[in-house]
Amino acid sequence: MNNQKINWALLIIGGTVVAIICVFVFFIFAGGETVSKNNTIDRSQIKDVYAEQIINSYNQKGIRVHAAFEVDNRSGILCVILVLFFDESGNPITGYYDGSPIQNPGQVSVGQEFTPNLSHVEASKMFFVSAEALHLENGNSPIKYQVEIREVSSGALIAKSELYSFTITE
Does 110 share its domain with 146? yes
C-alpha to C-alpha distance for 30 and 20, rounded to whole angstroms: 15
Cβ atoms 6, 119 nearer than 8 A: no
C-alpha to C-alpha distance for 16 and 20, rounded to whole angstroms: 6
pLDDT value for 50 = 96
In this prediction, residues 150-169 reach a mean pLDDT of: 94
91-95, 102-106, 117-121: least confidently modelled range: 102-106
Residue-range definition of the domain harbouring residue 14: 2-32
* pLDDT averaged over every residue in the chain: 82
Which pTM does this prediction carry? 0.72
Does 17 share its domain with 58? no
Does 26 share its domain with 75? no
Does 87 share its domain with 10? no
pLDDT value for 137 = 79
Q: Residues 72-85: pLDDT tens digits?
A: 999 999 999 999 99
pLDDT value for 36 = 46
Q: How confident is the model at residue 169 (pLDDT cuts 50, 70, 90)?
A: confident
- 57, pLDDT greater than 90: no
Q: Residues 132-147: pLDDT tens digits?
A: 888 887 888 999 999 9
Total tally of structural domains belonging to the chain: 2
CATH number for the domain harbouring residue 120: 2.60.40.10
Q: Rounded to an integer, what is the distance from CA 48 to the centroid of its chain? A: 12
Total length of the chain: 170
Does 50 share its domain with 26? no
Cβ atoms 45, 114 nearer than 8 A: no
Q: Residues 6-43: pLDDT tens digits?
A: 566 666 676 666 666 655 555 544 444 444 445 557 88
Does 26 share its domain with 84? no
Cβ atoms 26, 34 nearer than 8 A: no
Does 164 share its domain with 107? yes
